């Protein structure tokens, strides 16, 4: 499907159609999709919000960073997970304090993606948080954090 068709589907399709369109728009990496994807962050359908969140990161949309930071507070864990992951893909330094906050999220998948993103972004606050996670009780998060810290040392 072409970009224009996907944007139209994102705006007026069924819930499943809108979610698929958002995902496909991210894969296309066409900047014309940015506006429609930003609008889709307010969609009532969790799948649409989730896919739009990640699609904006796939587009490399640094303009979306404030909206992705907002998405870290979405009611749905998979939207929060996609926001945490997307901020790392964008290497959004402004998001570090918010990703640090997300380390207390009740969802393991959100925390896991926050660790990965902090590892991609770096900086003093990110490394400090990763060191703390490396000493934490969750073995998998501790291992992820330790690997990220090692990458900074290399």
Same domain, 103 and 149: yes
Same domain, 9 and 49: yes
Same domain, 53 and 115: no
Instruction: Report the C-alpha gap between 86 and 154 in whole angstroms.
Output: 24
What's the pLDDT score for residue 43? 97
Same domain, 81 and 51: no
What's the pLDDT score for residue 153? 78
Contacts of 94 (CB under 8 A, 6+ apart): 65, 69
Q: Does residue 99 fall inside a structural domain? A: yes
Quote the longest CA-to-CA distance of the chain: 49
Question: Which residues form the domain of 34?
Answer: 1-60
CATH, residue 91: 1.25.10.10
Same domain, 37 and 79: no
CA 105 from centroid of its chain's CA atoms: 14
Check if the beta carbon of residue 92 is closer than 8 Å to that of residue 84: no
Instruction: Report the C-alpha gap between 62 and 64 in whole angstroms.
Output: 5
Per-residue pLDDT of the chain (154 residues; tens, 9 = 90+): 699 999 999 999 999 999 999 999 999 999 999 999 999 999 999 999 999 999 999 999 999 999 999 999 999 999 999 999 999 999 999 999 999 999 999 999 999 999 999 999 999 999 999 999 999 989 999 999 999 999 887 7
């Amino acid at each position: 499907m072409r970009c224009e068709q996907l944007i139209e589907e994102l705006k007026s399709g069924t819930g499943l159609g809108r979610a698929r369109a958002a995902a496909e728009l991210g894969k296309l990496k066409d900047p014309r999709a940015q506006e429609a994807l930003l609008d889709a962050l307010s969609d009532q359908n969790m799948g649409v919000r989730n896919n739009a969140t990640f699609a904006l990161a796939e587009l490399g949309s640094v303009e979306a960073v404030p909206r992705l930071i907002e998405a870290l507070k979405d009611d749905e864990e998979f939207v929060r997970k996609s926001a945490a992951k997307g901020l790392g893909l964008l290497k959004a330094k402004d998001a570090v304090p918010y990703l640090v906050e997300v380390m207390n999220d009740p969802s393991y998948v959100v925390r896991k993606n926050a660790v990965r993103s902090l590892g991609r972004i770096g900086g003093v606050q990110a490394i400090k948080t990763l060191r703390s996670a490396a000493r934490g009780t969750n073995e998998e998060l501790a291992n992820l954090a330790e690997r990220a810290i090692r990458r900074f040392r290399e």
